[in-house]
Structure 1
Amino acid sequence: MMELLQQHFDTAFAAPDGIKKLRELILTLAMQGKLVAQDPNDPPASELLKQIEAEKQRLHASPSSPRRRGSSQSKPLPPIRPEEMPYELPQGWEWVRINEICHDWGQKIPNAKFTYIDVGAIDNKLGTISPSTQILDATDAPSRARKIVKQGTVIYSTVRPYLLNIAILENEYDPEPIASTAFAVLHPFASVSARFIYHYLRSPIFIRYVENTQKGVAYPAINDGDFFNGLFPLSPLPEQHRIVAKIDQLMAKCNELEALRKAREEKRRTVHAAAIKQLLDTTSSFPQACPRADGEQESSSSKESDLRSPSTREQTYRGDGVSAHGWNFIQQHFDELYTVKENVAELRKTILQLAVMGCLVPQDPNDPPVSELLKQIEAEKQRLHASSSPRRRGSSGLKDLDSRFRGNDGIKTKSLPPIKPEEVPYELPKGWEWVSLEDVSEKIHYGYTASADHSNQKVRLLRITDIQDNKVDWETVPGCNARKEEVAQYLLADNDILIARTGGTVGKSFLVKGINVDAVFASYLIRVVPSIHMDVRYIKYFAEGPLYWRQLYAACSGTGQPNVNGTSLSQLLLALPPLPEQHRIVAKIDQLMALCDRLEQQIDAATGKQTELLNAVMAAV
C-alpha cells in the first residue's frame, strides 16, 4: 500500500488540489489501519481499554482529581451500534467513543496571573500554539477563560470546526494555562498517543462526523456532548506510534512538495513579470519599437498561434532589438509561462497597456490626425449645447446640457487646463494626442438617488451590485418610485459607460449594450457618455487597463472606503489615436482576449484532467 501511495506523489503534485487530497488520503489510510503493517505481537486495544479503566479509577479516587467535581465527560456512554461504525477495523483495533480515551482537568475561574489560550492562538496548519500567548491578571480574565489544560492536552475548537483549530500543548506554561470554553479538552490516558488523537481529529473520517452533527450555518458549532460521543479507532499503542511516525514522514514530504510547487509557480510568475516589464519599459522608452505601416497589411484573420509565432513578434516589435528580446523570450517559453491563470491575467493587462501605447497595431499615415477628430468632437458638443433636447435620449426636461456633473452633489466644473508635458505618462506615436476623459465625452455625471422598489418595474434602478462580470440581468434589476419624465436625464442608453465611484468596486466599469427597458443608474455610479465620434469600446478597454487603474487609484480618497469623484474621473488622461486606428486596436484586443479566454479554458481542462486522474488514483488506493 505504501509503495502504491508513494508512486502517486507526482500525480498529486500535478493536480491543483492534489497535495491537499494526498494529505486527506494519508490520514484516511492511517485511521483505517492501512498505512503501516500490523504486528501480531502488539497488545490488542482490548488490553489498552483495561489499562485506561484502571487509570480512570485511580484518577477518580484521587482527592485532587477534577473527576470528583463532576466532569462533563463522566456521564455513562451509550453502547456503539453496528450502524455507527464507518468501516471495519483491523484485528486488534476497537471502536470506542472519544470520551473513553481521554479526560479533562475541569474548570476554574482564574484567581491569579494565568496564560490565556484562545482560538486565535492556534496555528491550524502546524497544530501548535502561538508562543505569544497572552498573560493576564485574574481581574482581566475574559468570561470564556475557564478550562484547565496541561502539557500533553489536545484542544479542539468546537466553534467553526471547519477551521481545524486543533493543537497539542507541547510545553509547560508559567503561569498556568487556562483555555477558552470554545475548546473541547482531551487529555489522553497513558495508553493513547496525543498525536494519534490529533491526527484523527483532522482526518476526513472525523470531519464528516462533525459536519453531520454540528448546528448552525453561518457560525456552525458542535457541542461537547456530541463531540465526545464521536467514535475513535483505537489501535494498539505501539502501532499508534508507528502510524504517527509514518504520518509525520509523509506530511513532511507533502510540505516539501508544496514548497517546491510554490517556488516553481513563483519563479514562473517572476520570469513572466520580468519579461513583461522589459517589454513595456523598452517600448515606452523607444517608441520606434512600436509597429508602423510599411507596406505590410495585418491579416484580419487570427489564429491561436498569433502570440507564439516569430512573424507576429517581428511585426509587432520591428525596429528595436531590446523590445524584441522581451517578446522573443515570451514566445519561446509560451507553453511553460501560460499554464497558470495568474500569468494569463498579466497577459491581458499587457495587451491593454500595449494598446494605449500604440504598440498593438500598425499606425497608418493615411488616417486623419487626432486634431481633426477633436474638432469634430468639440463641434458636436457645441451642437448639443445649442439643442433643446439631448441626442439619443429622446426625452424632454433635461436642462443645462453644459453641466457635466449632476446628481446629489450638484457638481459643475470649469474647463480643464491644457495638459502639461510633465503630466504625460509616456511618449505617444505620431498622430496621437493625450486628452482627458472629459475631452472625448459628451457628458459625465452622477446617478439618481432613489430607493429600490421591486413592486414597481416601470423605471428600473441599476445599482453597483446588479453588475456582475460585465453583465446585467435586467429581469432582476429592481424598479424605483420615479416618473419617467422626472428622471429623463438619468435614463440609460446603449454605449453609456458606468463607473463605480465608491467601495470595493470603485473604478469598475460597465458598457451598456442592448438595453430594452427604461432604466436609470444609482447615485453611487458615474455615467460617461462618449462622443459619437469615438469608438466606445476603445474607452471601455482603456477603463480596464493598467494606465486607467494607476490614475484612478491615485485619484481615490479615503482608505477604508475608497471614493473617486466626478471631477477626478473627468481629468484622467487618455491616449487618443485616430478613429480608424481605434477600430483596429479594438479588433486586435478582441482577437487577443479571445486567445486569453482559450488559454484559460485549456488551463481549466488540463487541471480538470489532472484532478480526475488523481481521484482515480485515490479510489484505486
Structure 2
Amino acid sequence: MKHLLQHFKTLTKHPQNAEELKGLILQLAIQGKLTENWRQENPNVESASNLLKRIKAEKQKLIEDKIIKKARESGEIDVSEKFEIFPLNWEQAKLVDLGFSTKLAGFENSKYVRLKDEGEVPVIMARNIRKNKIKEEKVKYIDLKTSLLLERSALTKPSLLITSIGAGIGDVAIFDKEERWHLAPNTAKVELFNEHNENLNIVYVLYYLLSPIGQKEIFKSVTTTAQPSLATKAIRDVIVGIPPLEEQKAIVAIVDELFKEVEQLEEQTKNSIQLKEDFVTSALQRLTEADNIYEEWQFLQTHFTEFFTEKSTIKQLRETLLQLAVQGKLTSNWRATNYSSLGGGAEGGGGIEPASELLKRIQTEKKALIAQKKVKKEKPLPPIEDHEKPYDLPKGWVWCRFQDLMKDLRYGTSKKCDYNLGNNPVLRIPNISNGRIDFEDIKSTNLSDKELRDLSLLNNDLLLIRSNGSVALVGRSAVVENIDDGYSFAGYLVRVRVFKDYISSRFLHLILESPSIRKSIEGPIRTTSGVKNINSTEISQLVFAIPPLEEQKAIVKKVNSLMALCDSLEEHIENSQTHIEQLMQSCLREVFENSN
C-alpha cells in the first residue's frame, strides 16, 4: 500500500489509470488495509459476529411472516472457500444469508410483462446499470397492476442491483429511489436484511461487489453460453467479507474520499491535456498561416517536451509538417540559397529547371510512348479551376493533376492469393505500411506471362489502396523499393508508375499523406456493401503542387529529418507511459500479493 500512496499522483497522470486506481483502492478497502489505524483506535466496537446473529434473526422473521421464502441454497461456507485476506475480527457470509436475492422469472416476463415507452412503473434494464450508477436513459414502463401482480421482483426499498445477462454482466448499482420501480428479466436485486440500517452499510456491500475480489466472486459461476448469464443461485453463493458496522462506515468514508481525490486528479489531468492540445492546435495553426515559419518554429521547439506529451499532439504535428512541406514552407531557405540558379523556360537560363519545364518534358515523353503503343492515350481531364488551388505557390512550382505525372495507372490482379498457392508473390493491403513495402506475410498466385508483364512492379512505383473498410486507409500509398523480379499486386491496390527522371515517388507519397490531399481523397469516397472505394478517375484528377525535382528531394530530406524528431518525441511519451504502467503493475502486485 505504501507504494500506491507514494506514487498516487503520478499514476493519475493518465486518465485511463483512474478506473484501475479505483479498483486498487477497493481491493485495499475490502482487505481492511485502509482501516488498520482505525481498528487500533476503535478496538471496542460491536463485533461482526453479533451483526450476523441479528441478520440471521431478521431473515428468520421474514420467512416466518411469509414475506420471503426460505432459499434452497445453503449459506454454509466450506473451509476451502474461505478467504484468508480479511482481518481477524471480520466475518464471512454468503449473500443468501445477507439478503433476499431474486430476478423476474422468464415465464413471468413472457406471460405478464408488456413494456411501453410511457406508463406507471419504470423498469430497470441491464442497459440502465453502468459503473455503479443507475442511468435513467431509454427507460421502459409497465402497468402498476402488472407490477403489483409480480411483487417479488418489484423495487420498493433500497436494494443492490446486478446485471445478470449480456455485455454488462456483473455491473452493480444501488437502487434507492422512493417511487416504485420494477426489475427487467436481465437484472437481479439483493434486498439486504437490514430493516433499520443496524446490520449492514449498503454502500460497503456495493464497494465489496465492485472490488476485484467481489467481481471474481460474481463471475465464478457465470455460464458462458452464446450470451453469458448469472443465475440467482450464483448471486446467492457470493461470499462477502463482513467487518463491524462502524468499520464498514469508516471504509465507505475513506473510499469516498480517495475516489474524490482520484476524480479530481483525473479531471485536472484531462483539463491539462485539453489545454496542451488547445495550445498545440493554436501554435500549429499559426505555423501553417505564417509567411515565414522559422520564428514560429523556434517558439514551438522551446515547448516540445512541455506540450507535446500526448500521441494525439504528435499526430497533429506530423500532419502540420506534411502540409507545410507540400506548400513549400519548409524549404524557403533552400530556395533562397539555390534559386539564384533557377532557370529553364521563361524564368531564366540554365541551373534548376522550374516544375513547368518538367511537365513539358513529361508530356513529350508520354506522347512518344503513346505513339510507340507502350502506354494508352488518356482521357483528357478538365482544366484546374481556381477553387482547386488552395494556396499560392512558391517560385518555380506549378499546379497539375496527378494524371499529368503518370506514365501508367493499373488495378491489380483479382486472382485468388494464398500462402504457397503459386509461383508469383502478390503484394496486398497488409504489405502497405507507413509509406513502405513490408515484405512479411506474402501470399502468392499463378500468373500468365502477359499478366506478369502487365502487373509487374519496378522500383519507384507507387502502390495506392483503392478499396477498404476503413476510410482512413483508402488512398494510402507506399513507394516500391528493393523489389525483386516476379512481384505483382492485388486488386484492391492501384499501381501508379511515374516519370522517375522528373518526379520523386517519395515526394508524391508525402503529397498523398498531406491533410489537404487526404481531404480531396476522402471527399468522393463511396461505400458499397460496407467497403469504401476510390476509382482511377478520382485518383487521376487529384490536384498537386509540384516543385522542381531538386526541391522535391530537399523536401523529402527535410520531412524525414522532422519525422525522426516526431519519432523521438513519441518515444519519450511511450517511455513515460511505460514508466507509469510499470508503477501500476508494481502497485497491483503489492496489493494482490496476499489476496488469493
- TM alignment of 1:393-472, pairs within 5 A: 401-402=375-376, 414-454=379-419, 456-467=421-432
Q: Does residue 234 of the first structure (1) align with residue 242 of the second (2)?
A: yes
Aligned mates of 1:482, 1:99 — CA distance in 2? 70
Q: Deviations over 1:352-391 (max 9, x none)?
A: 01101111122121221111111222223223323455xx
**3-state SS of the aligned residue for 2:191?**
strand
Tell me the TM-score normalized by structure 1.
0.80
- TM alignment of 1:173-184, pairs within 5 A: 173-174=179-180, 176-181=181-186, 183-184=187-188
- TM alignment of 1:537-576, pairs within 5 A: 537-558=506-527, 561-576=531-546
Please report how far the alpha carbon of residue 215 of structure 1 lies from its aligned counterpart in structure 2 after TM superposition: 5.2
Q: Does residue 155 of the first structure (1) align with residue 130 of the second (2)?
A: no
Residue in structure 1 matched with residue 594 of structure 2 by the alignment: none
Which segment drifts farther, 345-354 or 475-484? 475-484
Q: Does residue 57 of the first structure (1) align with residue 60 of the second (2)?
A: yes
Aligned mates of 1:210, 1:488 — CA distance in 2? 63
Please report how far the alpha carbon of residue 430 of structure 1 lies from its aligned counterpart in structure 2 after TM superposition: 0.6
Distance 1:78 1:386, change over 3 A: farther
Residue in structure 2 matched with residue 185 of structure 1 by the alignment: 189
Q: Does residue 498 of the first structure (1) align with residue 430 of the second (2)?
A: no
Aligned mates of 1:262, 1:54 — CA distance in 2? 50
Please report how far the alpha carbon of residue 522 of structure 1 lies from its aligned counterpart in structure 2 after TM superposition: 3.0
Q: Could you tell me whether the CA contact under 8 Å between 2:452 and 2:486 is conserved in 1? A: no
**3-state SS of the aligned residue for 2:353?**
coil
Aligned length: 550
Residue in structure 1 matched with residue 297 of structure 2 by the alignment: 327
- TM alignment of 1:133-172, pairs within 5 A: 133-136=139-142, 148-159=154-165, 165-172=171-178
- TM alignment of 1:294-373, pairs within 5 A: 317=294, 324=295, 326-361=296-331, 362-363=334-335, 364-365=338-339, 366=341, 367-373=352-358
Please report how far the alpha carbon of residue 148 of structure 1 lies from its aligned counterpart in structure 2 after TM superposition: 4.2
Residue in structure 2 matched with residue 123 of structure 1 by the alignment: 130
Residue in structure 1 matched with residue 12 of structure 2 by the alignment: 13
Aligned mates of 2:264, 2:16 — CA distance in 1? 15
Aligned mates of 1:453, 1:168 — CA distance in 2? 55
Distance 1:545 1:86, change over 3 A: farther
Aligned mates of 2:220, 2:425 — CA distance in 1? 43
Q: Could you tell me whether the CA contact under 8 Å between 1:498 and 1:527 is conserved in 2? A: yes
* Structure 2 unmatched ranges of 5 or more: 342-351, 592-596
- TM alignment of 1:179-258, pairs within 5 A: 179-181=184-186, 183-190=187-194, 191-209=199-217, 214=222, 216=224, 222-258=230-266
Tell me the TM-score normalized by structure 2.
0.83
Residue in structure 2 matched with residue 43 of structure 1 by the alignment: 46
Q: Could you tell me whether the CA contact under 8 Å between 1:11 and 1:614 is conserved in 2? A: no
Please report how far the alpha carbon of residue 589 of structure 1 lies from its aligned counterpart in structure 2 after TM superposition: 0.8
- TM alignment of 1:26-105, pairs within 5 A: 26-36=25-35, 37-38=38-39, 39-65=42-68, 67=69, 74-77=72-75, 79-82=77-80, 84-105=81-102
Q: Which amino acid aligns with 1:541?
A: L
Distance 1:558 1:456, change over 3 A: closer
Q: Deviations over 1:6-57 (max 9, x none)?
A: 5543222336654333212211111011212223332222222222222222
Q: Could you tell me whether the CA contact under 8 Å between 1:499 and 1:508 is conserved in 2? A: yes
**3-state SS of the aligned residue for 1:537?**
helix
Aligned mates of 1:213, 1:403 — CA distance in 2? 70
Q: Which amino acid aligns with 1:179?
A: A
Q: Which amino acid aligns with 2:538?
A: S
Please report how far the alpha carbon of residue 271 of structure 1 lies from its aligned counterpart in structure 2 after TM superposition: 0.6
Distance 1:591 1:185, change over 3 A: same
Q: Deviations over 1:556-597 (max 9, x none)?
A: 234965432221121111110000111111011111111111
Q: Could you tell me whether the CA contact under 8 Å between 1:496 and 1:527 is conserved in 2? A: yes
Q: Deviations over 1:39-90 (max 9, x none)?
A: 333222222222222222222233453x26xxxx6322453324x3443311
Distance 1:232 1:588, change over 3 A: same
Q: Which amino acid aligns with 2:476?
A: K
Please report how far the alpha carbon of residue 498 of structure 1 lies from its aligned counterpart in structure 2 after TM superposition: 1.9
Residue in structure 2 matched with residue 312 of structure 1 by the alignment: none
Q: Which amino acid aligns with 2:477?
A: S
Q: Deviations over 1:415-474 (max 9, x none)?
A: 112212332010010100111111112122333323334451323444434545556654
Aligned mates of 1:444, 1:178 — CA distance in 2? 63
Q: Could you tell me whether the CA contact under 8 Å between 1:31 and 1:233 is conserved in 2? A: yes
Q: Could you tell me whether the CA contact under 8 Å between 1:129 and 1:169 is conserved in 2? A: no
Aligned mates of 2:228, 2:526 — CA distance in 1? 38
Aligned mates of 1:480, 1:194 — CA distance in 2? 66
Q: Could you tell me whether the CA contact under 8 Å between 1:116 and 1:180 is conserved in 2? A: no
Please report how far the alpha carbon of residue 491 of structure 1 lies from its aligned counterpart in structure 2 after TM superposition: 3.2
Aligned mates of 1:607, 1:130 — CA distance in 2? 36
Q: Which amino acid aligns with 1:81?
A: V
Which segment drifts farther, 498-507 or 517-526? 517-526
Residue in structure 1 matched with residue 450 of structure 2 by the alignment: 485
Aligned mates of 1:273, 1:422 — CA distance in 2? 25
Aligned mates of 2:262, 2:426 — CA distance in 1? 52
Q: Could you tell me whether the CA contact under 8 Å between 2:437 and 2:478 is conserved in 1? A: no
Q: Deviations over 1:165-196 (max 9, x none)?
A: 3221121445x412233x34322221223222
In percent, how many aligned pairs have the same letter?
30
Aligned mates of 1:15, 1:384 — CA distance in 2? 59
Q: Which amino acid aligns with 1:336?
A: E
Aligned mates of 2:144, 2:453 — CA distance in 1? 67
Please report how far the alpha carbon of residue 158 of structure 1 lies from its aligned counterpart in structure 2 after TM superposition: 3.8
**3-state SS of the aligned residue for 2:497?**
strand
Q: Which amino acid aligns with 1:386?
A: A
Q: Could you tell me whether the CA contact under 8 Å between 1:377 and 1:440 is conserved in 2? A: yes
Aligned mates of 2:188, 2:227 — CA distance in 1? 17
Aligned mates of 1:458, 1:201 — CA distance in 2? 60
Residue in structure 2 matched with residue 536 of structure 1 by the alignment: 505
Q: Deviations over 1:466-523 (max 9, x none)?
A: 5455566545333346535345423333333222334313222233333336343333
Q: Could you tell me whether the CA contact under 8 Å between 2:326 and 2:510 is conserved in 1? A: no
Q: Does residue 259 of the first structure (1) align with residue 263 of the second (2)?
A: no
Which segment drifts farther, 98-107 or 257-266? 98-107
* Structure 1 unmatched ranges of 5 or more: 284-288, 290-315, 318-323, 390-400, 405-413
Residue in structure 1 matched with residue 571 of structure 2 by the alignment: 601
Residue in structure 1 matched with residue 348 of structure 2 by the alignment: none
Aligned mates of 1:480, 1:217 — CA distance in 2? 40
Q: Which amino acid aligns with 2:277?
A: R
Aligned mates of 1:160, 1:466 — CA distance in 2? 38
Aligned mates of 1:500, 1:227 — CA distance in 2? 53
Q: Deviations over 1:185-223 (max 9, x none)?
A: 322221223222221222122334556655549965555
**3-state SS of the aligned residue for 1:130?**
coil
Distance 1:105 1:159, change over 3 A: closer
Residue in structure 2 matched with residue 276 of structure 1 by the alignment: 284
Aligned mates of 2:193, 2:483 — CA distance in 1? 70
- TM alignment of 1:369-380, pairs within 5 A: 369-380=354-365
Please report how far the alpha carbon of residue 249 of structure 1 lies from its aligned counterpart in structure 2 after TM superposition: 1.6
